[in-house]
Structure 1
Amino acid sequence: TAVDLARACLDRIAEREPHVQAFVHRDADAAMARARALDAGPLRGLLHGLPFGVKDLFDTFDAPTGYGSPIYAAQQPLADAAAVALCREAGAVLLGKTVTTELANMHPGVTRNPHNLSHTPGGSSSGSAAAVADGMLPLALGTQTAGSLIRPAAFCGVVGYKPSHNRVPKAGVKSLSETLDTVGGFGRCVRDVALLGAVLTGDRRLTDPAAFEQPAQPRVGFCQTPEWAAADDDTRQTWELATRALASHGAVMAWPAELTGLMGVQKQVQAYETARSLTHERLHHTAQLSAPLQSLIADGLAVSGEAHAKNLLTTAHARQHVAQWFKDCDVLLCPSSVGEAPAGLASTGDPVFCRTWTLLGLPCVHLPFTRGQSGLPVGLQLVGAYGDDHRLLAAAHHVHESLMRAGSQAS
């Protein structure tokens, strides 16, 4: 029953939350009341009775929303963000608000990696990824502007799904960058995030049983990206393991020289748009902004409107170019992170392998399947063509099964 599942999750939270610190707000009474009401009524939708967590960047009418910043401590919105409302309409049970980094940027929150409490869970969707990884929740919402879904999924060893840009409504989510902000989420397997994605996008093709159950061998393009030099030994060994496992239906994809500067474009676009989105905070609450965020805002203010317009044009041209790649492959296999979650809590890690895909607006799925030298999770991401989220998720399901077998044999 919904009551049984909610109680099991709340028991797990009570046991582990003092160590992991994934939540900023919980309401067990409201969750149990919602679960009882669901058990007493008809099926509500695809998420009927499933507990979920919400990154504290999303407005919620019945829980405070602080955006990870002291500026908004105890703020109480009047309405749910659209994504939250869609999940509730589909029968989901909100268990709590999860930790985000400060205004979804790089300054870390208090959450720890459940696999090793002295390591970062990544960011900015740190609490959501950690809660799913530690068995507190089956599903959780997050956002990505640079690497805030894929990187914490990689560090915490869960499946993270970043939909195609603008496939999910962003109303009621604190805005940083209209060009980059994307709503997505975390689950324990591909089919779980596909279920969540179908609710968020309204596209039932994401959960088409035939696509998941019929044997399939998607054409995989092995794409190390221009940032490959940043990969450490764990990611390189994971890459070798994966490419061997997928060799029968994969091929190396060379990155065109004319697109090697896209990561720099993403950084400028993010800085420019964040500086303007946070104008109120800059003008009235500068002292309450962290030094790293103040530095990012300063960088953004130094970018001219003319330069930003040029960056957007470069991005549009790159998107057209990249769309042609998927004539020769169904999905791209790419690194998700530099390696294992770094030790310490002062940093959330480097989003180097996520920035370009976020700029291009392509759907991405992180697939965990092995561990690094320190015993922490390592995996890779699949990237799909824009708008082909249903094909990406179906391919990811089959590819993940192959990679899990390879990881199991290697260990």
Structure 2
Amino acid sequence: MSRPINLDASLTVIASELRSGGWPLPDYLTALEQRFNEREPDVLAFLPENGRFHRLQQQAQELLQKYPNPAERPALFGIPLGVKDIFQVDGFTTRAGSQLPPDILQGSEAPSVTALRQAGALILGKAVTTEFAYFGPGPTRNPHSPAHTPGGSSSGSAAAVGAGIAPLTFGTQTIGSVNRPAAFCGTVGYKPTYNRIDKSGVLPLSVSLDHVGCFTNDVAGMELVAGLLCQHWQLVVTEKKAVLGIPEGLYLQKASEEGRKHFRQLCRRLHEAGFVVKSVEAMPDFDKIYTRHNLIVAAEAARFHEAWFAEHAEKYHPKTAELIQRGQKVTDSQLKKAIRGRAALREYLMQIMDKHRLDLWLSPPALGAAPAGLDSTGDPVMNLPWTHSGLPTLTLPAGKNKAGLPLGLQLTGRRFGDEAMLSFASQIEPVVDVDKFA
């Protein structure tokens, strides 16, 4: 006998129910379609598609015929997957939030997408992205307040999970495009160690800085997906409580008063829950890190878009055009020097972690809550050093402000320590996600 369907359940629960048949896949998709039709017109997380759920029901039948035996069904059997529209997906046109001719943007399916398809996922659709994953915003609205930004560039991906219309989505991060929108939309957002998830088949913004990431509604679901996507994944179950570091100094001062106050409250809560929380001076040269990172983004974007921009400059959003024009002025020697700085920052952060025996860094995932308006996706400065260094990061939902907008907490782990970071995150999650674990 089938059980009542809970669209807000953890991805692990949904996956288990769909594999076992406790929630018949056609019934689950029918329930999701109703939710989608209620929420999507306000959120605008996805590119429009005629007959979306008719297609999904047909693909569900094919999946059921392929795997009639529940015991043989793959890990993500029937899970609807939203995919940021800079990923190549067979059967879908890639537009990248751009006005450029679509035919020049197409390519072979991203291996990350193929991996989750092979694990049983069904493509719910293409999620809205800012233009070429930079700052030119799309139509997506924050699911908690349509007058506020969902963040970017993975706008639709974060908003879809935040609105409960997708249990799993793909995003990317070059500065803060997973961790910031995850905080704004109240979801879990994971950016792996640099290159831990294959990023081929994804239109690049900056090849030295781009990371493929994901959104789910809790840590357990993210662990499930990370194990399917990350190279050489080995599950870690940590018994000891994490030793947590606060990177004091110029970087932390960038957060808003609201953001810093909330962050300090979370740190106190973790200390009271038995975690060791250490204040550590870090990144006194943060302004140089910031400048270096943005130089790399501009230079590599200019190089990738060189031919397209020469022919279609007038079709680019002004923010993207300004980035490319700025990047055209960067010399190859300047770019090489800046890229070397990435390894230096990573080594520096790891040395501090070793010296103070830190398991994770703690930091705000954004300046504060999502700003009002849709012209900007918010400032990614709080994510920048962790992306620059290529260390793994995770945003956890961590309550709301007085206006009811989500706030989060950003965790940063050791290089290739993604498994340990997620294991520690499962300890931290119930302490900081007060709305869900109250």
| Range class of TM-score, shorter chain | over 0.9
The secondary structure found in structure 2 opposite 1:285 is helix
Q: Find 1:16's aligned residue among 22, 39, 44.
A: 39
User: 1:37 — aligned with what?
Assistant: 62
The secondary structure found in structure 2 opposite 1:70 is coil
Task: Tell me how far apart the structure 2 counterparts of residues 332 and 15 of structure 1 sit (CA, whole Å).
Answer: 39
User: 2:5 — aligned with what?
Assistant: none
Task: Tell me how far apart the structure 2 counterparts of residues 175 and 198 of structure 1 sit (CA, whole Å).
Answer: 24
User: 2:406 — aligned with what?
Assistant: 377
Q: Is the 2:111–2:198 contact (alpha carbons within 8 Å) kept by the matching residues of 1? A: yes
Q: Is the 1:369–1:404 contact (alpha carbons within 8 Å) kept by the matching residues of 2? A: yes
Q: Is the 1:59–1:172 contact (alpha carbons within 8 Å) kept by the matching residues of 2? A: yes
The secondary structure found in structure 2 opposite 1:5 is helix
User: 2:348 — aligned with what?
Assistant: 321
Task: Tell me how far apart the structure 2 counterparts of residues 258 and 231 of structure 1 sit (CA, whole Å).
Answer: 17
- Report deviation, 1:399: 0.8
1:160-201 CA distance string (max 9 Å, x none): 000111011111100121110000110000111121111111
Distance change (3 Å), C-alpha of 1:405 and 1:165: same
Instruction: In structure 2, give the amino acid aligned to 1:401.
Output: P
CA RMSD of aligned residues (A): 1.9
Of 381-390 and 310-319, more deviation after overlay is shown by: 310-319
Of 218-227 and 56-65, more deviation after overlay is shown by: 218-227
Of 156-165 and 373-382, more deviation after overlay is shown by: 373-382
Of 222-231 and 301-310, more deviation after overlay is shown by: 222-231
Task: Tell me how far apart the structure 1 counterparts of residues 437 and 228 of structure 2 sit (CA, whole Å).
Answer: 32
**Stretches of structure 1 lacking an aligned partner (at least 5 in a row):** none
User: 1:246 — aligned with what?
Assistant: 270
Task: Tell me how far apart the structure 1 counterparts of residues 181 and 240 of structure 2 sit (CA, whole Å).
Answer: 28
Task: Tell me how far apart the structure 1 counterparts of residues 206 and 107 of structure 2 sit (CA, whole Å).
Answer: 23
User: 1:312 — aligned with what?
Assistant: 339
Distance change (3 Å), C-alpha of 1:192 and 1:123: same
- Report deviation, 1:361: 0.4
Q: Find 1:365's aligned residue among 391, 394, 398.
A: 394
- Report deviation, 1:45: 2.5
Distance change (3 Å), C-alpha of 1:256 and 1:65: closer
1:26-65 CA distance string (max 9 Å, x none): 4222221222233341444321221110000101111111
**TM-score by structure 2 length?**
0.88
Distance change (3 Å), C-alpha of 1:225 and 1:380: farther
Are 2:330 and 1:300 aligned?
A: no
Task: Tell me how far apart the structure 2 counterparts of residues 273 and 50 of structure 1 sit (CA, whole Å).
Answer: 35
Q: Find 2:366's aligned residue among 327, 337, 341.
A: 337
Instruction: In structure 1, give the amino acid aligned to 2:306.
Output: T
Q: Is the 1:220–1:331 contact (alpha carbons within 8 Å) kept by the matching residues of 2? A: yes
How many pairs are equivalent? Answer: 404
- Report deviation, 1:350: 0.4
Instruction: In structure 1, give the amino acid aligned to 2:29.
Output: A
Are 2:271 and 1:271 aligned?
A: no
The 5-angstrom pairing of residues 41-190 of structure 1 reads 41=67, 42=69, 43-73=72-102, 77=106, 79-190=108-219
User: 1:6 — aligned with what?
Assistant: 29
User: 1:218 — aligned with what?
Assistant: 242
Distance change (3 Å), C-alpha of 1:76 and 1:275: closer
User: 2:385 — aligned with what?
Assistant: 356
- Report deviation, 1:291: 1.2
- Report deviation, 1:233: 2.8
Distance change (3 Å), C-alpha of 1:164 and 1:375: same
Of 368-377 and 256-265, more deviation after overlay is shown by: 256-265
Task: Tell me how far apart the structure 2 counterparts of residues 219 and 238 of structure 1 sit (CA, whole Å).
Answer: 20
Task: Tell me how far apart the structure 1 counterparts of residues 103 and 268 of structure 2 sit (CA, whole Å).
Answer: 51
- Report deviation, 1:154: 0.7
- Report deviation, 1:72: 3.9
User: 2:253 — aligned with what?
Assistant: 229
Are 2:57 and 1:28 aligned?
A: no
Runs of 4+ aligned structure 1 residues displaced above 6 Å come to 406-409
The secondary structure found in structure 1 opposite 2:47 is strand
The secondary structure found in structure 2 opposite 1:253 is strand
- Report deviation, 1:76: 8.3
- Report deviation, 1:351: 0.3
- Report deviation, 1:238: 1.4
